[in-house]
Structure 1
Amino acid sequence: MVAIKAPQTTHKVRHFLTLNDISKDELKSIIDRAIEMKQALYEGRAQPLLERKVMGMIFEKSSTRTRASFEAGMAQLGGHALFLSPRDTQLGRGEPIEDSARVLSRMVDIVMIRTFGHDKIERFAEFSRVPVINALTDDFHPCQLLADIQTFVELRGSMAGKSVAWVGDGNNMCNSYINAAAMCDFELRIACPEGFNPSSDLINAHSDRVKLCATPQEAVQGTDLVVTDTWASMGQEDEKNERERAFADYQVNAELMSYAASDALFMHCLPAYRGKEVSAELLDAPDSAVWQEAENRLHAQKALIEFLLTQ
């Protein structure tokens, strides 16, 4: 009988559950690296830096961009991505989350989870032996913020000292933008219908960076970036009609963008519902950065994966 000893970790595993899991300097380094990796891919210089590394991708919420960007990213890094749909896992159902974490983290090198309750991913990370990435929860969407920050840096430079308007639902994206305002040193103005404001705890914690505005026009006035998201996220389908009535005056369109700075950008994490939260014309307008923003999920996440696996 041969006794096999499991490898011992000599350092604390780093997770990425919110932007606050990295420092300001680390954020800048990841963004710089994402831009570098993007250029290397364009020029045919990309290297298989993570050969034989495997990512477990747990999806309780489906997504086109999240699956494509992580799976393609791991392939470009020389690794492999293992897709696990709700039909393929027992996360929080037949098996406790803690046990799923203990098992899966012995088989893969890194885990990406897209789920509903943020507590699920926190519990999984607590018992995981490998890095865990939040690919979206009901509370936060930090990977999208990496892509958004990268896009702004590419097109306009540093976000420090800039102003950003969030128009629409105070959802997980809005919460992550609040964290980003503190991390990147910009002013965030938020306009939401009554009853749809973001986390009051987050707002109070970052009151020096965040301002709640009475109207979309007030929020957008003179800003460098305008951001919105769908009015009804996954899991809120039964609220769709009610939300459309509440958000009727919160569409981002050319008229609203006219209040922003002349070179202001527009972003949306997609999928977008043309004619609802954004006009069809604006989505394809020159000041819309949504397609570059969507592509940058790929590059920003590659830089993040490399960062987490080389700590």
Structure 2
Amino acid sequence: MKKDFLRVFDLNQNEFTYLIKRALEFKANKDLHETLLSGKSIGMIFEKPSTRTRVSFEVAIYQLGAHPVYLSSKEIQLCRGEAIKDTALVLSRYLNCILIRSFYHKTIKEFAKWSTVPVINALSDEHHPCQAMADMMTIFEKKGKLEGIKIAYIGDGNNVAHSLIEASALTGVKIHIATPQGCEPSAEVIEKAKSFTEIKLFHDPVIAVENADVVYTDVWLSMGEEEHIEKKEKFKNFQVNVKLLKQAKLDAIVMHCLPARRGEEITNEIIDGPQSVVLDQAENRLHTEKAILEFLLAL
């Protein structure tokens, strides 16, 4: 029976922990897995622009011995109104796995419903599970553990926040979230996660960051929201800067999933500073995606 990875909660605790461990092994032994997926072809459907997701997946697929097939949504028949069902059923005859970066999570769910091969969510409006996997790998690398770690997430309650909440629930990480009024994460996500770990919501970032091991932020406006000036105004006191970071632990690390709007949600001084781990975080997308692909296709 095929398995999809559409949100973090598609995995259980043991599976998530295994994937972090496996990603660390891939990172430590970069030249020892070039034939794991030999002969397989992985489709990559992209509706939205991408830097890290596209490159990390394409390189991961290649380094595992498989063949990446890039499919811009503007160049396949979906753009002319072909039914998702028909596209999914046909591509399943050609490909061994399909990853989709889509504007709408419902599109990915519909595709996965009809696909007979595994489907991976490479980002949707509701979830970004591959990012959360790399985030937890990075925290483990820097802190030596996950359980009991406190993350302070400062910013919009968006897809990144949703996946970070679910990943925290599977690893015992405590997560404190600070958003402006009206920008909180999905109640459904919080409700599912809160029985597994400590989740607290704040509208004051200073309180959320107090004694944090990790300070995490993301852009205030997601792709497609750039013109929402009124929403952007709500975040003016939610910048990760020197003053705010002083409220966290002295050895706190700073994370950002990128791309960053420097000078908005985070200052240059912080993102380029000694506590920033954003480049390690970005690199770890490559290693966690190898683990995900192997898990769905080779185990």
Normalised TM-score (structure 1): 0.93
1:266 partnered with 2:265: no
Match of 1:59 in 2: 46
Distance apart, 1:75 and its partner CA = 0.8
1:175 partnered with 2:162: yes
Q: What letter corresponds to residue 256 of structure 2 in structure 1?
A: H
Q: Name the SS for the 2:93 alignment partner.
A: coil
Match of 2:61 in 1: 74
What is the percentage of aligned positions where both structures have the same residue? 46
Distance apart, 1:287 and its partner CA = 0.9
1:245 partnered with 2:233: yes
Match of 1:234 in 2: 223
Match of 2:26 in 1: 37
Q: Name the SS for the 1:81 alignment partner.
A: strand
Alignment CA distance shift 1:29-1:229 (3 Å): same
Match of 1:154 in 2: 141
Contact 2:239 2:264 in 1 (8 A): yes
Q: Name the SS for the 1:91 alignment partner.
A: helix
1:97 partnered with 2:90: no
Distance apart, 1:92 and its partner CA = 7.0
- Aligned counterpart in structure 1 of residue 187 of structure 2, from 176, 184, 200: 200
Name the Cα RMSD after superposition: 1.2
Once the two structures are superposed, what CA deviation does each residue of 1:13-66 show, in whole Å capped at 9, x if it has no partner? 00000111111111111111111111111xx44432111211100001110111
Match of 1:5 in 2: none
Distance apart, 1:89 and its partner CA = 2.0
Match of 1:117 in 2: 104
Once the two structures are superposed, what CA deviation does each residue of 1:139-166 show, in whole Å capped at 9, x if it has no partner? 0000000100111111112210111111
Once the two structures are superposed, what CA deviation does each residue of 1:169-225 show, in whole Å capped at 9, x if it has no partner? 000011111111211112111110111111022223333521111300111000111
Q: Name the SS for the 1:16 alignment partner.
A: coil
Match of 1:106 in 2: 93
Distance apart, 1:242 and its partner CA = 2.2
- Aligned counterpart in structure 2 of residue 286 of structure 1, from 270, 274, 291: 274
Contact 2:36 2:298 in 1 (8 A): no
Distance apart, 1:79 and its partner CA = 1.0
Q: What letter corresponds to residue 156 of structure 2 in structure 1?
A: D
Alignment CA distance shift 1:93-1:171 (3 Å): farther
- Aligned counterpart in structure 2 of residue 26 of structure 1, from 6, 15, 37: 15
Q: Name the SS for the 1:180 alignment partner.
A: helix
Q: What letter corresponds to residue 302 of structure 1 in structure 2?
A: K
Contact 2:181 2:203 in 1 (8 A): no
Structure of larger gyration radius:
1
Unaligned runs of 5+ in 2: none
Distance apart, 1:256 and its partner CA = 0.8
1:303 partnered with 2:287: no
Q: Name the SS for the 1:275 alignment partner.
A: coil
Q: Distance in 1 between matches of 2:25 and 2:165?
A: 26
Q: Distance in 1 between matches of 2:187 and 2:238?
A: 21
Q: What letter corresponds to residue 143 of structure 1 in structure 2?
A: C
Q: Distance in 2 between matches of 1:81 and 1:90?
A: 19
Q: Distance in 1 between matches of 2:6 and 2:23?
A: 19
Q: Name the SS for the 2:194 alignment partner.
A: coil
Q: What letter corresponds to residue 29 of structure 2 in structure 1?
A: A
Q: Distance in 2 between matches of 1:283 and 1:277?
A: 10
Normalised TM-score (structure 2): 0.96
Q: Name the SS for the 2:69 alignment partner.
A: strand
Match of 1:16 in 2: 5
Aligned residue-pair number? 297
Q: Distance in 1 between matches of 2:192 and 2:296?
A: 27
Match of 1:3 in 2: none
Q: Distance in 1 between matches of 2:65 and 2:193?
A: 40
